[in-house]
Amino acid sequence: MNGARLEAEVEPRQLLVYFLRDNLNLTGTTVGCDTTSCGACTILVDGKSVKSCTMLAVQADGTEVTTIEGMAKDGELHPLQRAFHDNHALQCGYCTPGMIMAAAGLIQRGGDMSEDDIRLGLEGNLCRCTGYHNIVKAIQQAAGEMKSSATV
């Protein structure tokens, strides 16, 4: 869990997102729709983006889970976090953790990161405020930086 080993007992029916929020107090991961549509609850499981409202906590047993709280290292913002800040890629901020985690999944997956690739890659994440433009710009900036410094 965000780089540390975590052991916990959970009821099988507990959804991962509620385990994170209610049991671990990791409230950076938000719930928008609860129906796998909006992407607000996106986290990384073994490096892959996943909607945590549609995964059981027990299914995460033995995996590496990363949430928005695990992105900054030693007080330094992750390049994606900094790029969202630099590009004013958020307004209310509700979708932001999910956007950043979805973007991290796309970057981790490798492949091209053109504007079109990014827009298509975000098809599972909704933002009601920004119009997406600055989000795409931020991700492009971060992807470029991360590629050149190879700190995926």
Ligand X SMILES: Cc1cc2nc3c(=O)[nH]c(=O)nc-3n(C[C@H](O)[C@H](O)[C@H](O)COP(=O)(O)OP(=O)(O)OC[C@H]3O[C@@H](n4cnc5c(N)ncnc54)[C@H](O)[C@@H]3O)c2cc1C
Give me the residues that bind ligand X (CB under 6 A), please. Answer: 36-37, 54
24 binding another protein? (CB under 8 A):
no
Shortest Å distance, C-beta 54 to ligand X: 6
Angle between helices 133-149 and 79-86 (to 10 degrees): 140
d(CA 33, CA 4): 29
Shortest Å distance, C-beta 2 to another protein: 19
Report yes or no: 123 and 135 within 8 Å, Cβ to Cβ.
Answer: no
Of 34-42, 61-69, 104-112, 114-122, the window that binds ligand FES (rule: CB under 6 A) is 34-42
In sequence order, the β-bridge partners of residue 66 are 44
Between residues 52 and 141, which has the closer beta carbon with respect to ligand FES? 52
Helix, coil or strand: residue 50: strand
* Interface characters, 84-113, with ligand FES (x: CB under 6 A): ------xxxxxx------------------
41 binding ligand FES? (CB under 6 A):
yes
For 51, the token pair is: 């909607």
Binding to another protein (CB under 8 A): which residues in 72-101? none
Helices (H) and strands (E) in the chain, counts: 5, 3
Give the Cβ contact number of residue 15 at 10 Å. Answer: 20
Applying CB under 8 A, which residues contact another protein? 11-15, 18, 34-37, 39, 42, 45, 48-51, 53-56, 58-59, 62, 102, 105-106, 109, 120-121, 123-125
